[in-house]
Homo-oligomer: A and B are copies of this chain.
Amino acid sequence: MVQPFVQYLREKGGLTPAELDAVASVSTFKKIRKNQYLLEEGQISDFIGFVVKGSFRLFRVGEDGQEHIMRFAIENWWIADFASFMNGQPSKCYIEALENSELVIITKDHWNGLLETMPNFKHMIDMLTARNFEAHQNRIYSNISESAEIRYENFVSKFPTIYNRIPLYMIASFLGLTRETLSRIRKQAVKKSSTDL
């Protein structure tokens, strides 16, 4: 099985060698090229991916045709449209590779099997789910209470590895801003920090 994935499962889930084998037996390796879609609107997300290499964006397209980025994923992140995955409904989202990327794929049936039969795995996912829930809460709070500038600063400090790897206009989309506004916010921030002397 793919090395970074094994390491992740050992560190985060404490899986035993036997358990790692069991996960391996239901895992698929997948390469996907830049700008290709892992999932498209209308499809059902009946799998979950683990990013081994590369990066992804998950976005929805508004009625006006504009793309709105819900989520990024880089190495060691899980990626799927979890809403579609959990409800079995057609997805409202696209998942696009931002670079040539590599994934481990686990289908929904296998995933649920692991949760039922492997307590270590279930415990790991429960932890992630709880953290994810909290992250959603924090993002909603941020959206309804914080200024664009502070939202941007928080993003940078929270996701430094994403911030310096992904085009600015995508971060703007994630934050619910236009690229122009984010560009200006950045300029102001530079001015401010140089005043901090």
Does A66 reach chain B (CB closer than 8 Å)? yes
A82 to B131, CA, bound (A): 11
A197 within 8 A of B: no
| Distance from A99 Cβ to chain B, minimum over Cβ atoms (Å) | 23
> Is A143 among interface residues, defined by CB-CB distance under 8 A?
yes
> In whole angstroms, how far apart are the Cα atoms of A25 and B56 in the complex?
48
B62, B87, B131, B140: the one contacting A136 at CB < 8 Å is B140
Q: How many residues of A contact B (CB 8 A)?
A: 26
Beta-carbon contact of A144 and B87 below 8 Å: no
Partner of A176, one of B60, B145, B174: B145
Q: Is the CB of B83 within 8 A of A145?
A: no
Q: CA separation between A143 and B60, bound complex, in Å?
A: 13
> Given A133-B82, A134-B87, A136-B136, do A176 and B68 touch, yes or no (CB 8 Å)?
no
Encoded as 1 (CB less than 8 Å from any B CB) or 0, chain A from 122 to 151 comes to 000000011101101101110111000000
Whole-angstrom distance between the alpha carbons of A137 and B81 in the complex?
A: 10
A60 to nearest B CB, angstroms?
A: 6
Q: Mark A23-55, 1 if CB is under 8 A from B, else 0.
A: 000000000000000000000000000000000
CB-CB < 8 A to A134: which residues of B? 83, 86-87
Known: A70-B137, A136-B136, A137-B70. A144 touches B175 (CB 8 A): yes
Establish whether residues B141 and A86, one from each chain, have CB atoms under 8 Å apart when the complex forms.
no
Whether A60 and B140, one on each chain, are in contact in the complex, defined by CB atoms closer than 8 angstroms, is: no
